[in-house]
Structure 1
């Protein structure tokens, strides 16, 4: 009878109090994407309704991510425990400014891509799953940005990779299958290295909660260099950093242009996000030890990307190398390790997510109007559509890092941070590759847009399905260029949270540590 009357205090292991209503914003992006994606699978025969529901769902995702970023900016990092089990016993979703800002930028890029897809994706390709794959891809991307558990990060990587495989082969052309093979092999190797590193880390610490790992790693006494090297290699492959970057220009030009745009805007940035989260917040000693190596990788990545873009005549392959060059700029901020350098890398990542999506969509329209994606066959686009040519020029100047557009400010932050650390050579490479990128886009504009048409061309309007997302993304590029203060301040706050994760850890363990 006494045993039956005995009560068990679950307060040490479980969430007893009701979850505040605002905290549901933390997990809602993933729930929304999975729910809408499942509904789209049931509507595969009704492709028009499917498209409308997908666009509405992604528009709602933008609103939710915007509210989440606002809440985190006002209140600090937030945590929601899954299944009511307190961390580190259960899986937690923990969001800070860095994760919330990346999730919002990803949602904006996906919404723009979904609208453009109305003109780029055929009914048969919708029937075979473009919009469900897109929503599941966004579930993986959102989960990766919002999770507070390292194994959960691996799971969301798998979700987005599986979805990306489906999108990459949609259409089943020989070129797509070849590109998908290269994409799959390298990414699966990177995923395997990531999983091995997670297993070794769990053997060392007995936990996979990020806040718990960050606290235990700072106490020292653990052989972390091998783990850091494994994580660095795995995430470098995901982010397409030198020398494991060759899969990107070999695969990103093969699918439909809207799919290439989404990949360029989202997937490599998830790799950069994971690298910064793990190497800066969780394993700072590893980042300090490998800082010189990361700097060399950043330099090589920038140079290879810029020179590769100079050598290409196919605009789609050229943009693949521009993506790689941008990854090098972000890695430069990681190599510096200062709050200013990390802030520049975060600003660059947010800018790049919007800009690279827009550049690929513009390349798709250029190919549609001019009948080719090769600089040898493109000409007279300014005559065919002056407004589209002017919008393209804005995007080209932003990608070159020229004022007054969004690409200028993160490079200023990175160069300033490099000079403050005495890394003048790193600042020099950032400026040099920016100059080379200017030459790349100057060449594109002169040949494809300004050169007189090789044959008579009539004026061709841009449909609203293409013009609306392009105008939206270009407006963000111009807006962040003219008024960069808030985004720069947000990036610095995000970087400070990575450098000093005490607020992140207090969100997960309010009483000061793991039980």
Structure 2
């Protein structure tokens, strides 16, 4: 048995439960938020270190061996994703102390945040396809509740679009799970992969693959059903937006990587061709949407869509280098995108608006914030030597080697248009002169403690971006090892279906 696998799930669940016990104590809820997310980060780092050293870890719940019981599985990809969950959870928890008001806290902001983190970690670590659905629903419930905290009109409109499309995705996912169980008689993903390899009805397998592709594509905000994301992510408090931007769509991307490397790898020429087209349209539609916006968070929301395309492109090309690029891109993007949303939150706290036309002058009044914006912004655009350059370079090189010249050209074009969007934000928010005082409503000054709490996670995430860019070799090696496991599904199957709790490299 490897009980440490369960800790990244149990800690946020326990933190959320304790927060409910101290419902009336604001100080205790805030302390538990920081302590719980710090515990999640530390245990996830421990898990990644162990997996990197010993290989795939498996925990069979209740002592029931697979495939009869529920299994938790931590391979390198799952462990990496849990570490990123811990980093983002801790950063957002600190930021929330300065930006989430008493009203939102009274309605359960911190318990819901912990529940969301537990759902995300559970999705990354489950070895059971039905429990993946369960963790998706835990995330959906928590995220919907976080979206509507405050009950403002814009929030309700965004939440309705968000939950409607995600419920459609959940229905497709559940139907696909039922059909899959009817075909193979098991829900354990390793056992499903082993049994599907022996089936002769490849047509039905391809139908199921397409159902899972649509379900996870909606949750990842891939083309064409991505519009729920830019319609909703700009409406809640910015801490919620940052948490969603960093993690929620990446769970959909992770699920695509998991099922299309482990389960549905029989017809890559068919399924991955569709993924390739989807990646191209996702990149292009997202970046064009961002270019047309003049609201800080809406621009960033559309860029989530465009950047998802790069990750799916890595999976669609399905070569070792492409999978490495996809994993590397996920690691880079989660850090960068969360940080950009946090920067937008500081701008809003200082001026009271996200509208670019009503902003300006930050380079002169807050030069440190301008630098903190440039680091993730230029990284998102793929400028060297930041993390985004290496992520884009690996994926584009993989596209050239695979002779996918059309989608590779789109990836290069999207990089240029991303740079245009970041320059637009820079010019409007930081470089141009501030509007005359009579044109904007005065906004309360931020006290030094609040500014420190908002700035600390932004600085930390910016340092992570610089670390990935300046130390790309060890990050590349980690992504390469993860890709090696994904492209050798027999190692995952052997680890899960072997003796209970046995660790296999």
Q: Which runs of 5+ in 2 are unaligned?
A: 501-505
Task: Name the structure 2 match of 1:403.
Answer: 384
Alpha-carbon separation, structure 2, partners of 1:483 and 1:428: 27
CA distance in 2, matches of 1:364, 1:509: 47
The one of 139, 143, 148 aligned to 2:118: 139
Residue 101 of structure 1 aligns with which residue? 80
SS in 2 for 1:290: helix
1:319-358 per-residue CA deviation (whole Å, 9 max, x = no partner) reads 1101001111111111101121111111111111111111
Match status 1:218 vs 2:197? yes
Shift of residue 199, structure 1, vs aligned partner: 0.4
* 377, 382, 388: which one aligns with 2:369: 388
Tell me how far apart the structure 1 counterparts of residues 321 and 308 of structure 2 sit (CA, whole Å).
17
**Which region of structure 1 is more displaced relative to structure 2, 364-373 or 479-488?**
364-373
Q: Does 2:480 match 1:499?
A: no
After superposition, what is the alpha-carbon deviation per residue over 1:449-506, rounded to whole angstroms, capped at 9, x for unaligned? 0111222699977711101000000000011011111111111211221111122112
8 Å contact 1:369–1:384 — kept in the other structure?
no
2:61 maps to which of 76, 79, 82 = 82
TM-superposed CA distance for 1:370, in Å, is: 3.0
How far is 1:293 from its partner? 1.4
Deviates more, 1:455-464 or 1:91-100: 455-464
* 8 Å contact kept, 1:76–1:503: no
After superposition, the C-alpha distances for 1:206-235 in whole angstroms (9 at most, x for unaligned) are 111111112222234133010001000000
Distance 1:76 1:219 in 2: 27
Task: Supply the distance in 2 between the matched residues of 1:352 and 1:505 (Cα, whole angstroms).
Answer: 29
What is residue 112 of structure 1 aligned with on the other side?
91
In structure 2, the partner of 1:130 is 109
For the residues of structure 1 that align with 2:99 and 2:492, how far apart are their CA atoms?
42
Superposition pairs of residues 44-59 of structure 1, within 5 angstroms: 44-59=23-38
- After superposition, residues 76-475 of structure 1 pair within 5 angstroms as 76-222=55-201, 223-455=204-436, 463-475=451-463
* Other-structure match for 1:16: none
Distance 1:194 1:451 in 2: 48
Would you say the 8 A contact 1:133–1:166 is kept in 2? yes
SS of 1:284 mapped into structure 2: coil
Cα deviations by residue, 1:158-197 (Å, 9 ceiling, x for unpaired) = 1111110110001111111110000000000001100000
2:464 aligned partner: 476
Give the RMSD, CA atoms, in angstroms: 1.5
**SS of 1:94 mapped into structure 2:** strand
Aligned length: 491
Cα displacement (A) at 1:281: 1.4
Q: Is the 8 A contact 1:224 1:286 kept in 2?
A: no
Contact kept, 8 Å, 2:65 with 2:499, in 1: the verdict is no
TM-score (norm 2): 0.95
- CA-CA distance at 1:511 after TM superposition: 6.1
The answer to which of 122-131 and 60-69 deviates more is 122-131
Indicate conservation of the 8 Å contact 1:280/1:287, yes or no: no
Distance 1:437 1:494 in 2: 28
CA distance in structure 2 between the aligned counterparts of 1:393 and 1:444, rounded to whole angstroms: 10
**Equivalent position of 2:6 in the other structure:** 27
Aligned partner of residue 187 in structure 1, secondary structure: helix
TM superposition outliers: structure 1 runs of 4+ over 3 Å: 456-462
Q: Which has the higher contact order (CA 8 A, sep 6+)?
A: 2
- Partner-residue secondary structure (3-state), 1:196: helix
Q: Distance in 2 between matches of 1:87 and 1:511?
A: 9
8 Å Cα contact 2:120/2:139 also seen in 1: yes
Counterparts of 2:478 and 2:263 in 1: how far apart (Å)?
Answer: 21
Report the TM-score when normalising by structure 1: 0.93
The answer to whether the 8 Å contact 2:67/2:497 transfers is: no
Once residues 138 and 331 of structure 2 are traced to their aligned partners in structure 1, the CA distance between those partners, rounded to angstroms, is 22
Bigger Rg over Cα:
1
